[in-house]
Amino acid sequence: MSDIQVTAVTIDAILHHPNAERLDLATIGGYTTVVGRDEFKVGDIVAYFPPDILIPEGIATQLGVAKYLKSEIYPGDIIKTHCRVAAARLRGVPSFGFVQRLKDVEIGADLTERFHAVKYEPIEPLWWNKTGDQAKNDLRFHYYTNIENYRNPRFKGAFTPGLPVRITEKIHGTNSRVALIGNEYMCGSHKTSKKEFSNKGGCTNVIGPTVSVQGSRSLYWNPLTEEMKELLQYFVETKGPNVIAFGEIFG
């Protein structure tokens, strides 16, 4: 799973914001974040708060950034507060996270616990409240691992001039998972298990038992062909139970 940290880093570059006289653009690693005009200079040591993390509202208020954060539920809270750091567009320029000036700290220090930062994970709705083709998730039917973003300041210098690399192209579609878990076939998107047939028509209450109205077959079950079933069965027999194949549906 990708790792999100608040890290002590140096500012690599400062440019004037093209559309605002009181703002600058600070470059940290591969990210750019909007800061106040002349507030920072190149080489300053700062704490960098990347997008997709949550910090307690109290700390956000102390840092003076609460009004810029999105509302979300911080772990342990029961109501939404201004705690989510997210990418934004300020005066037409993307801004990724924010920075805070630091003293007496070494470059590269992990400040995640100091600011009680945690990774933002969208809350999944209860499966029985879902509609359409969404099914109950099985913990054994796990997600595809997240890939680290190369722009993370912790990876600064990972690529150097002359280093041979292999570049691949991702065809944009929708993430697909097909699996044989125990004796049951399962299919789903990146984070959601899918029923083979949707119930978008709902259920009709009649005199007597409830009648389920079957809808169309889910797109995410299309990769589960007879050939794919044979392949999953082969790996179950030769490698062990609970086999998942990850792919991309496009076209």
Residue 202's pLDDT is: 44
pLDDT of residue 207: 39
Domain boundary (74, 102, 119) is at 119
Q: pLDDT band at 200, cuts 50/70/90?
A: low
Measured distance CA(15)–CA(42) in Å, rounded: 10
Q: Do residues 144 and 174 share a domain?
A: yes
pLDDT at residue 237, rounded to an integer: 92
Query: Could you write out the three-class secondary structure of 141-169?
Result: CCCCCCCCCCCCHHHCCCCCCCCCCCCCC
Residues 112 and 174 grouped into a single domain: no
- DSSP 8-state assignment for residue 134: B
- Answer yes or no: is 1 within a domain: no
**Residue 134 domain-assigned (yes or no):** yes
What pLDDT was estimated at residue 83? 94
Same domain for 160 and 195, yes or no, is yes
* Helical ranges in 22-153 per DSSP H: 57-63
Residue 136 and residue 245 in one domain: yes
Q: Of 102, 119, 136, which closes a domain?
A: 119
Predicted local confidence at residue 116, as pLDDT: 95
Based on the domain organization, do 112 and 181 belong to the same domain?
A: no
Does residue 14 share a domain with residue 74? yes
d(C-alpha 5, C-alpha 84), whole Å: 14
Q: Is 66 inside any structural domain? A: yes
**Do residues 110 and 62 both lie within one domain?**
yes
pLDDT mean across residues, the chain: 85
How far is the first Cα of the chain from the last one, in angstroms, to the nearest whole number? 28
Q: Are the beta carbons of 98 and 49 closer than 8 angstroms? A: yes
User: What is the per-residue pLDDT across 130-155, written as a single tens digit (0 to 9) for each?
Assistant: 556 788 888 888 888 767 777 777 77
- For residue 203, pLDDT over 50 is answered with no
Shared domain check, 199 and 99: no
Residues 131 and 245 placed together within one structural domain of the fold: yes
Q: Do 134 and 203 share a domain, yes or no? A: yes
Give the CA-trace dihedral at 48, 52, 55, 60, to 10 degrees: 60
> Is residue 131 domain-shared with residue 241, that is, in the same domain?
yes
| Phi-psi domain of 117 (left: phi exceeds 0; alpha: psi -120 through 50; beta: other) | beta
Q: Quote the strand ranges of 125-195, DSSP E.
A: 174-181, 184-188, 193-194
What is the pLDDT confidence band of residue 65, given thresholds at 50, 70 and 90?
very high
Point out the domain boundary residue: 68, 88, 119.
119
Average pLDDT over residues 107-132: 77
Clarify whether residues 159 and 225 are in a common domain.
yes
Residue 168 in any domain: the answer is yes
Q: Which of 19-33, 115-129, 167-181 shows the lowest mean pLDDT across its residues?
A: 115-129
Is 2 part of any domain? no
Give residue-wise pLDDT tens across range 14-61. Answer: 999 999 999 999 999 888 999 999 999 999 999 999 998 999 999 999
The number of domains in the chain is 2
- Give residue 229's pLDDT: 95
145: containing domain: 127-249
Report which of residues 98 and 156 the model is more confident about.
Answer: 98
- Do residues 60 and 69 make contact, with C-beta atoms less than 8 angstroms apart? yes
